[in-house]
Structure formats: structure tokens, C-alpha cells
Structure 1
Amino acid sequence: MLRSDRFNKADRVIRIGFWANAVLMVLKLAAGHYGHSDAVFADGVESACDFIAIGMTLIALKVGRKPYDSDHPYGHGKVESLSAIFVSLVIAATGGWILYGAATIMLEGRYATPALVAVLAAAGTIVAKEALYRYSMKVGGSLGSPALLAIAKDHRKDAITSVATLVGVGGAYFGIRIMDPIAAALTSLFIFHIGYHTFRISAHELMDGQPEQSLLDAITQIARSVEGVDQVHEIRARHSGQYLIVDLKLEMPPEMTVKRSHDIATEVKRRIFEHFSNVGDVMIHINPSDEPHEDLIRL
């Protein structure tokens, strides 16, 4: 996949989510206010937080697509993981805000009876957010973009929130008014969990954590299949936004010429690029096979 195609797909997902959140934010804030539902109004405030988070992601994607330069020889992709960290903090802060509001309502005992418009707003949000989640996960997964995957999880968080909101506002609409703040409080627990999960994955990528072992095994198999490669001595990889940077140590016959070993390494790199569109670079070190060698490292 061409670099420009990857970025265009990412842009499309973010723009759709950005404007969908803007519309939902206005609708839920209005429905919560005029429909007398604290849960739906809190849901609207949550959408406002998402609106800000997605705006930050748009900026991150724009910065992350800049090509490598002398100051950033590995590119600018890490800014996507930084953006995902920010989104996770927004998610957690939103959960705290909702929990505080629900607790305050229950302590004060000021329960209102919601109007039908609040119930409909919660139901409509579930459908819209679940659709956005599935679309964003599909594209984000195919691109391997941490920013898009974080936004997708944020959409799923909204869908879960709205399910609880619908139960609460529906129960309150039919007379059990305490269900509205209870639903909001329970929803906050789901929100905290999603925020933590997003933060943990993004922090792992920022600290150059290894990707899935199955991916490393697949890259190893491709390298081994190239004629002239005796063994893959070591493989490491790290995320840089939508791309992976791979480090390979290959063992080759010691009598092989420099030119021949260079040609083989180039073929290994070419095949990896052909099979994995999300690999941004492959750095290869060659060791003589069947001879003891020591890898110098200070980490």
C-alpha cells in the first residue's frame, strides 16, 4: 500500500468520527437538558471530550506523516502513540467526571423524570457509535495505526456508555428515577477500563515494546526462505506510528562476498516489504554462520 493511500484512509476515518461526534454532542446535550436526563447530558459532555480528543488525533496524524529528517531519522510516527496516550487520559477523566456527577445526584436525592427525547437520543447513539467503532477498528487494524485504534476504542466506550445510559434513562422514564444516575455511575467503570487498556498499549509502543510474536515469526520465516540465509540469529521490532521498524541479524556462509551478502539482504528486505505493508524499514546485520560471534550491546 502506498504511503499516501495509508494516510488518506486514516484521514477519512478521523474526519467521519470528528463530525459524527460533533453532531452527537449537540444532540445529546440538547436532549439531556430539555429531556431532563442527567445521564444523557453527561453522555453529551463525554462526546465533547471525544471531540477534543479526535481533534488532537488529527493533529498527531498530520505530524506523524512527515518523512524522516536529520533530527528524527526514524520518522515522526511516535506522535501517534503520544496522541493515543492523550486520548486515554481524556477517557479516564471523562469517567471520573461522570462518576462524580452520578454520586452527587444520588447523595442529594434530586431525581428527575426524563422525557422521551432523552431515551431516543441514547438509543440513536448506540447505533451510531457501534458503527463508527467497527469501521475504525477495521481500517485501524489494517493500517496498524495506534491513533486510529485508540479512537476506535473510544467509539466502543461511547457505545457501552450509551447502553447503560439507555437502561438508566429508560428505567427513569418508566418511573424508577434513581436508575438514571446509577446507570451513569456504572458506565464510568467501563470507561475507566477502556482508558487503562488504551494507555497500557500506547505506553508499550512508546517504550519500543515488541509487537505480537506471531508477526515476528512470520517475518522470520520470510527471511529464512531467501536462498543464502542460513539462519535468522535474532529479530526485534518496534512501532513507529502506523509502521514497524524491524531489526534482523542474519547468518550467512563466512566465505560469501560482501556484494553477495548485500544482495541477499536486499532481497530479504524486499520480500518483507511485499508481505507487510506496515513495515517501514528493515535494518539487517550479517554474521558468519557456524562460527562463534559475540553481539556487542550495552542495553
Structure 2
Amino acid sequence: MMKWRYLIRFKDWVQIAGEKDREKVGFLEGIVSIVVNVLIAAVKLFYGIAFHSISLIADAVHSLSDVLSSVVVIVGFKISARPPDEDHPFGHGRMELIASVIVATLLFVVGLEFLKDSISKIVKPEISELNAVGIVVVALTLLAKEGLARFSFFLGRTIDSSVLIADGHHHRSDAISTVLVLISLGFVHAGWPRADGIGGLTVSIFIMATAIGLIRESASPLMGQNPSLEMVEQVKEIALKHEEVLGVHDIVVHDFRSIYNISLHIEVDYTMQLCRAHDISDAIEREVQGRFPGWAVVHVDPVNRTHSRYGEVSAAIEELKKNHPIMETAHDIRIVGSDERFNIVMDINLEKTPARLAEIEEIRRRLNEQFPGAGIVFNIDPPVFGIKH
């Protein structure tokens, strides 16, 4: 019971520290990884020299090289924890993502080196020799590395840190390669010398694939990926709480890890006084900033839903949505002109591919059939998450 109580307390501390001071959690993982890797290297070096084992001495050097990824973790968290300054008004939070890419790249290099060694062993099989002491040392290394991997995964998932998860995969790659060494030794001594190289080839491909996945996962937020549906819904909920807000669209979120830069468009009646619209947008900005740390900017779009033709135009657009899903992104629908001669103007979010543009022309044709003589104007904006009304 005592053990579980301490584990629960530690998990609670990680969650609280992750919310208030991520640097502490990153520093903890980095220091623990460095200490364990240095101890592993020292044990391997000691027994390698004592028993004249070149392979253990070489593996000791490899364990020391693993310290580099942990140093990157600590430096990454240290920089990302810096507050905003004149040159970086949105903070330094994305440095954690950059550190994650660096650690994943180091993992890919490990896989590449492993691949080269494995191919060499397939072409020219070698009979590996390892005495009982060496096997014990390797087995202890396996336990230590798997323990480090699980520790890093636990911290990374608790505070949602891609760099800690990447470092966990780095530790696990060493554990997997150690398992491979032990298994392949059995196959080699059973008369299958190429088993070592074939197993190594399989593991190296797995390691490189994992590294590529981690790089893509970390690079995506750096390039500006869409926010989560949950976050978009929360922003919309804040805006739509105000009765005068008729619609919300074009929610854009720039995630700087510790700070968000959020912009959104709200629709209000075109007769609303400018001062009132300004007050509403200010209130929404404050509420969004209260929910998500950073900045929020609200753009006001006036819409006229009192035009005599608005009802039938709106119904026609709703009908078009059944066969043309891209019409779900239509917003800022405006009718300009008299009852007889008018233009239907709307904004729509889509990629300007030939297929999409052809579909827009088909929609224009169908609207012209229903409203002869009306001008149909589409203002095409880039695809943005959270554009449905």
C-alpha cells in the first residue's frame, strides 16, 4: 500500500508540475537518464576492461553517446521555459518541439548505424562470444533501459511532451537491440550465424520508422496544424454565449506550446452600432484569453438577414449542402441589391484544386437556375478548422 501511495503522489506531482513548470519535469527526466546512462557505461567499461571484452567496451562508449539526447532534452526544456521577450513575443515554447525533432533525428541515426552493421553481419556473419559476466551485464542493461523508457513515456504522456516521448523511444531502441543481442547469440550458437544480422535488420527498420513518425508528429505543430475539435468547440461556445452573435467561423489557432494566438470571426446584425459590436468583441477576447493563455483577436462581420430574399437563398444553400459538402464551409452570406436585382455573396473555405473549382462552378450554375439574373460571388479563403456554423 505504501508503494502505491508514493506512486500516486509522484504522478500528482508530475501533473501539477507539468501544468505550472514543465521545465522541472523535463529536467528530472534528463538528469535521471544521464545518471543511469553514465552508470551503465561505467559498469560496461569496468567489466569490459576486466574481462578484455572489446564488445562491452564499445557498448560502453555507445551508452555514453546516449547522454547527448538527454542533454538536448534538458536544454530544450530550459529554453522553452523562457518568458516572452521583445524578439519572441509568443514565448519560446516551440523549442520543445525542435528538441523533439533533434532527439528523433538522433534516434534515426542510431537505426541507420544499426542497419549498416546488420547488413555487414548478413554478408559476413560473425560468431559472437560473450561470457556469463557479459550476459549478466547485458541483461542488467536491458532492465535499466526499459525502465528508463517507461519512465520517459510516463512523464511525456502525463504532461503531453513529444520530446520526452521521443527520448523514451530512444531508450527503448537500446532495450530492443539488447534483447536482439541475447536472442541472436542463441541462434548463432545453434548454427545460424546470419540470424544476428537478420534480426538487427528488422529492428533497425523499426527504429528508423519510429524516428520518422516522431519527426512528423513534432514537425506538424511547428508548421501550424489545426487545433483540436474540442478547443474549437470551446472557442465557439464562448462566442455564441453572447445573444447578439449570430455565427462564428474562421477560427485560427497558433499554438506556441505555452501561449496561444487565437483569432475568430463573429457575425452580428448589420444594423448593430459600431460601439456595441466593439464591446462584444472585446468581451469575447477577454473570455477566450481567460480560457487559453495568450492573445485573442475577434473580427466582426455584419450580416443582413432581413433581406426579403434571404430566407429562400438560405434554404437553397442548405439544400446544396446535401450533395456538395464543401458548402458546409459557406459563411458571411450576404444579399446585396433589390428584391428583383441582387447579388448573392458568400465566403467559402476550400483548397483551390481543379476539382474543387469545377464544383464551385456547378454550384454557381445551380444557384443561377433558382435565381435567374442574380450575380453569384464566391470569396474563396484557405481551409480553416472550425468554419461550420
Q: Considering only aligned residues, what root-mean-square deviation do their CA atoms show, in Å?
A: 3.5
* Whole-angstrom distance in 1 between the partners of 2:197 and 2:42: 21
Give the letter aligned to residue 15 of structure 1.
I
Give the letter aligned to residue 234 of structure 2.
I
Aligned to 1:268: 288
Which structure 2 residues correspond to residues 132-147 of structure 1 after superposition, within 5 A?
Answer: 132-147=148-163
Which structure 2 residues correspond to residues 233-252 of structure 1 after superposition, within 5 A?
Answer: 233-240=249-256, 242-243=257-258, 245-251=260-266
Unaligned segments of structure 2, at least 5 residues: 1-15, 305-331, 334-346, 348-378, 384-389
Q: In the alignment, is the contact (CA less than 8 A) between 2:281 and 2:300 conserved in 1?
A: no
TM-score in terms of structure 1 length:
0.78
**Number of equivalenced pairs:** 289
Q: In the alignment, is the contact (CA less than 8 A) between 1:129 and 1:159 conserved in 2?
A: yes
Structure number with larger C-alpha Rg: 2
Give the letter aligned to residue 92 of structure 2.
H
* Whole-angstrom distance in 2 between the partners of 1:234 and 1:48: 50
Aligned to 2:21: 5
Aligned to 2:205: 189
Could you tell me the percent identity over the aligned residues? 23
Does 81-90 or 122-131 show the bigger shift? Answer: 122-131
Aligned to 1:131: 147
Q: Which structure is richer in relative contact order (CA contacts within 8 A, separation 6 or more)?
A: 1
* Whole-angstrom distance in 2 between the partners of 1:31 and 1:234: 63
Give the letter aligned to residue 238 of structure 2.
A
TM superposition shift of 1:13 = 1.8
Tell me whether 1:89 sits opposite 2:80 in the alignment.
Answer: no
How big is each residue's C-alpha offset from its partner over 1:134-192, in whole Å with a ceiling of 9 and x where there is no partner?
Answer: 33223223323232222122223233223323312344466755544443333222221
TM superposition shift of 1:258 = 2.4
1:159 to 171, 175, 179: 175
TM superposition shift of 1:14 = 1.9
1:110–1:137 CA distance, 2 compared to 1 (3 A): closer
Aligned to 2:72: 56
Equivalent position SS for 2:226: coil
Give the letter aligned to residue 109 of structure 2.
A
* Whole-angstrom distance in 1 between the partners of 2:147 and 2:31: 15
How big is each residue's C-alpha offset from its partner over 1:50-109, in whole Å with a ceiling of 9 and x where there is no partner?
Answer: 211211221122112111111111111222222222212211222222222333344444
Give the letter aligned to residue 117 of structure 2.
G
Aligned to 2:135: 119
How big is each residue's C-alpha offset from its partner over 1:207-255, in whole Å with a ceiling of 9 and x where there is no partner?
Answer: 22235x4444453465356444544312233443x43624231425443
